[in-house]
Structure 1
Amino acid sequence: MALRRWRLVASALLACALLAGFLWLVDLPRLGAALRGTDLSVFALGVVVTAFGAVAWSESQRHLLAASGATLSPWRNFVVFSLGLLTKQILPMGHALGTAVVAYGVGTELDRPYVENLAPVTVTELQSLLASLCLAGVGFGYVVVTLPWTPGLRSLGSVLAVVGGGTLLLAVTLWYRRRVVGRTLLAVAALVQATVGRVSPTVYRAARPEALAAEVEKFYATVGAVAGDRQRVLLGFAWALVGWVAFSVPLVTSAAALGTTVPVAVALFVVPMAGFASLAPVPGGLGGVELVMTGLVIAVSGLDPTLAAGVTLLYRLCTYWLVVLCCGGIVAAFGTTPRAALRAVARRG
């Protein structure tokens, strides 16, 4: 427990350091003056589009859950989705935990085994990643056509190609090399049992090879059932694309609210690429996303650094802080509390 608290403290301190570094790089008086001139009606449009994007991602999850036999109403699915989104935004390494928390939440709603829910939720996350890379590729194509081919753009293109290729390779490996994945997991479980399991009975039980092998087999069986329903899979992917477009639009509206312009295609590239900074071990990528997004906006659109920072701050207010507030309210009022969900996931090891 003490170790977890120290990790949270270290994560919070790192986020504060990144935010401080972000603010140190800009002209604070000019930034404050720009933000005071925000057109609130245009900013509010970005808030509405963000809400629609969250609904779209929720629908993507619902269709893939339905393909596995887990049928939730759109509203109850959105409550569970909000629980996972909240986890991703407020906890260090929240993206990994968010998937497990959603699987737990679906199990609570339907009294269904955790591993049967984990498979479609994992596929949802993978589809969302692929959708973001598709849109980033479209946006990058626009940038290449409209801007001079510079060393910076070559570097960005290389990063996009590596991430996209790595994601496809991972997906292909996980599906077509299931036996290799299973043997690897069993080898890791045996190692964990022989080391950490010697001092922790809970870890020893969780890492039992026979139990793990059964769960891996059930996981792949559920993934197979999901993949077999092509209509649901295509609908899920379409909703994921819509969600990413909706979460990119607030970068355009944030710029417009400050009296400047960021093309939609540029936003389609910048938002997914900056999103990878949210994988850093800080809540919601706090600080890291701001730095990366501002740098990308400057590099691609040529905005003044202070104005680019203002656009980024408005974007994050719209798609991070307000999302945390709304998801927290929805989960508190209508769903399982994050604390109970995380305790359940932790008990599973």
Structure 2
Amino acid sequence: MTGSDGGMAWPMDRGTTLKLLVGFAVALVLVYLLGAVIGWDRTIERLRTADLYWVGVACVSTLLCLLAWTKTWQVVLGAAGVNVPFRKLVVTFYAATFANYITPMGQAGGEPFIAYILSRDTEANYEQSLASVVTADLLRMLPFFNVGLVGLGYLLLQSQLPEGTEQFAALLLGLAITLPVGIVLAWRYRDAVQRAVVRLFAPLATRTDRFTVEGVRKRIDRLYESIDLIAESPWDLLVAVAFAYVGWVLFALPLYFSGLALGLEISLLLVAFLVPVTVIAGSTPLPGGLAAIEGSLVVLLTALLAFTADEALAVTTVYRLTSYWFVVGVGGIATFWVLARV
């Protein structure tokens, strides 16, 4: 979408905001019903025993994770020829994460908003911004699947997968194979991708003057050019991947710390399996994977560790408070800060 100044128009209109609010309302109702089935009284009793020290450690781990991923983003931007001070980019990345966390379908849904913020808050144009966002997202996906497969291997070596978890394991394995293949194909057959996207937008272009078919084609060309420029810096990409792995470890640790907060130990290798699987399960039409992540994590904890349902829900609640709602709060503040300065 293009504004009157030739830049990107604000992507969060009133209708989109209303849909997000409705999505949150539906998701929270589903989370409440999950707790009602398990028993909120027993779960709350367990939550009252939580060690606040470990809750705080989980929150710190989440913050450090975002700092590491900010560094990934900064390195990728630098490879694209855009230099942004780390201190400034941290706030922008927190706002970007907020967009992803409140948008249905996670990364895919929030990327236009993120690219908009980045293009308005830095010297990058929209195509450079989107290219850096896409590249950084792909680099951050590597640890999710690689380490997730390590966790899956650990489970298979220990024993057979408990009943009800085979689907999660198959989904993880399938995505670990198909996503890299899909990325390679999209890169190799970029002309076909461009034609498909243009064909998709062509009917819309006849109904609005906010974009044209030729404009869409040019934006795709500039997007691929920006990604080409990033790909020409292998050392920068290696550094970015290293920070992506550090960030992933810090992203996964809050689940381990949430168990410690309630006196329940979860193996780190099991965490390596659980976190990617729940992220995949969270790719639903509801904001932030709400309800889907909570439900799948409760099922997995009870199946893999023989936790009682209220124990599993208590751990899940602490985990989501420290890894999701905490980020929504901090990221929301960052978003207002960024919008005020652009």
The TM-score with structure 2 as length reference comes to 0.90
TM-superposition CA deviations, 1:129-150 (whole Å, max 9, x none): 2221111111111111123344
1:347 matched to which residue of 2? none
Q: Is the 8 A contact 1:130 1:167 kept in 2?
A: no
Does 2:20 correspond to 1:17?
no
Q: From 25, 32, 44, give the equivalent of 2:44.
A: 32
Name 1:72's counterpart in structure 2. 84
Partner of 2:167: 155
Q: Distance in 2 between matches of 1:94 and 1:141?
A: 27
Residue 64 of structure 2 aligns with which residue? 52
Quote the residue 2:186 is aligned against.
174
Find the residue that maps to 2:84 and give its secondary structure.
coil
Alignment of 1:107 with 2:119, yes or no, is yes
The farther-off stretch of 248-257 and 96-105 is 96-105
Cα 1:290–1:151 shift into 2, 3 Å = closer
2:250 is aligned, of 246, 252, 264, to 246
| Cα shift readout 1:65-112 (whole Å, capped 9, x = no counterpart) | 111111111111111111111111223345334322222222223333
> Residue 178 of structure 1: CA displacement?
0.6
Structure 2: distance between partners of 1:188 and 1:309:
42
| Map 1:1-349 → 2, pairs under 5 A | 3-4=15-16, 7-193=19-205, 197-198=206-207, 200-202=208-210, 206=211, 208-333=212-337, 335-336=338-339
Partner residue of 2:7? none
1:9 Cα shift? 4.5
Q: Deviations over 1:240-295 (max 9, x none)?
A: 11111111111111111111110111111111110123322222112221111211
The number of residues matched between the two structures is 330
Larger fraction in helix: 1
Amino acid at match of 2:279: G
In the alignment, the residues of structure 2 paired with residue 290 and residue 212 of structure 1 have an alpha-carbon distance, to the nearest angstrom, of 38
| Range with greater deviation from structure 2 (91-100 or 270-279) | 91-100
Moved over 4 A (4+): none
Native 8 Å contact 2:154 2:270 kept in 1: yes
Distance in 2 between residues matched to 1:300 and 1:245, nearest whole Å = 21
Do the aligned partners of 2:99 and 2:114 also contact (CA within 8 Å) in 1? Answer: no
- Find the aligned partners of 1:253 and 1:234 in 2 and give their Cα distance: 29
C-alpha contact (below 8 Å) 1:89/1:320 kept by paired residues: yes
Aligned-partner Cα distance in 2 for 1:154–1:15: 25
Distance 1:214 1:43 in 2: 48
Please, which runs of 5 or more residues in structure 1 have no aligned partner?
342-349
2:168·2:277 contact (CA, 8 Å) conserved in 1? Answer: no
Contact in 2 for aligned 1:99/1:118 (Cα 8 Å): yes
Matched position secondary structure for 1:71: coil
Distance 2:21 2:64 in 1: 33
Match of 1:346 in 2: none
Mapped to 2, the partners of 1:121 and 1:12 lie a distance apart of 25
Query: 1:153 deviation in Å?
Result: 4.6
The secondary structure found in structure 1 opposite 2:266 is coil
**1:261 corresponds to which letter in structure 2?**
E
Offset of residue 12 of structure 1:
2.6
Q: What's the TM-score, normalizing by structure 1? A: 0.88
Pair 89,305 (structure 1): closer, same or farther in 2 beyond 3 Å: same
Which one-letter code corresponds to 2:315 in the other structure?
A: V
Q: Distance in 1 between matches of 2:312 and 2:29?
A: 20
Distance 1:215 1:12 in 2: 32
Asked if the contact 1:266–1:301 (Cα under 8 Å) also holds between the matched residues in 2, the reply is no
SS of 1:279's partner is: coil
- Residues 50 and 183 of structure 1, relative CA distance in 2, 3 Å threshold: same
